Amino acid sequence: MSKRTNEQWLAELRTGHPCHNIALADLFQILVNGLRRGLLGQVNTSALEFESLADDFAQDALLKILDKLDTFAGRSQFTTWAHKIAVSVALTELRRKRWKDNSLDSLTATESGDYTPSFIADKSPQPENQTERIELMSHVNDLIQNDLTEKQRTALVASVIEGKSTNEIAQMLDMKPNAVYKLLHDARVRLKKSLERDGMSPAELIAVFER
């Protein structure tokens, strides 16, 4: 893995650069390695399941970093900036207990084919909150079904619902892993725009489930 200047990172991570795929793979590995240090004291980083968690966190962080490339001000090393984003993403996901199906991102398939967070069925929410949650997730399910392409929908369901890794999804769709990153990124952006079109931000949606 070659060292890069800040300018090289920014250039090579742009879609279309000849070294784009190599830069993505290198940054992904840097983020995974950095999370082992950055999450010490937060989780057991020596546990067997941490590797898959770190991959998920790094994947989500990579998508966020690509979205925020234009905001990098150059006041630090690019990798330091990227690492802070990865740790922030990881801590947010840990707080939401994603791996225990307690966040909006943890969706499970029901017999009807709808995608519903498992905690919606939990008996603890008040009836009025339960109804609101079900209605909102029914709307999200409609967006997934109608606003995403078939390939985007397949990748998102495989990643979020079935918990498949990027490599597994790549093999399933006969794509390269970096192409899967882009596919998931585009699916999430489209879903976000659909929510905003309907007057609901992702943050507002999540807030309903955290009440």
pLDDT averaged over 10-residue windows placed end to end, the chain, 211 residues: 87 92 92 82 66 84 91 90 89 61 37 39 48 69 84 85 82 89 86 78 56 47
Model confidence over 59-80: pLDDT tens digits? 889 999 999 999 998 888 999 9
Reference 143, options 89, 179, 102, 197; nearest CA is: 197
* Residue 113: predicted pLDDT: 42
Helices (H) and strands (E) in the chain, counts: 9, 2
Ordered by where they begin, the domains of the chain are 6-95 (1.10.1740), 107-210 (1.10.10.10)
* Residue 129: predicted pLDDT: 55
Cα Rg for the chain, rounded, in angstroms? 18
Could you count the other beta carbons within 10 Å of the beta carbon of residue 57? 26
The answer to whether 24 and 30 are in contact (CB under 8 A) is no
Burial category of 8 from C-beta neighbours within 10 Å (exposed 0-12, middle 13-18, buried 19 and up)? middle
* Residue 98: predicted pLDDT: 42
In angstroms, rounded to a whole number, what is the distance separating the alpha carbons of residues 33 and 184?
Answer: 22
The answer to whether 31 and 53 are in contact (CB under 8 A) is no
Whole-prediction pTM value?
A: 0.49
Pairing of strands 115-117, 107-109: antiparallel
DSSP string, 17-38: -TTHHHHHHHHHHHHHHHHHHH
* Residue 109: predicted pLDDT: 36
* Residue 203: predicted pLDDT: 62
* Residue 43: predicted pLDDT: 66
* Residue 46: predicted pLDDT: 66
Model confidence over 149-177: pLDDT tens digits? 999 889 888 887 677 888 889 999 999 88
* Residue 13: predicted pLDDT: 93
Question: What are the CB-based long-range contacts (under 8 Å, 24+) for 79-84?
Answer: 79/9, 79/27, 79/30, 79/34, 82/27, 82/30, 82/31, 83/30, 83/31, 83/34, 83/38
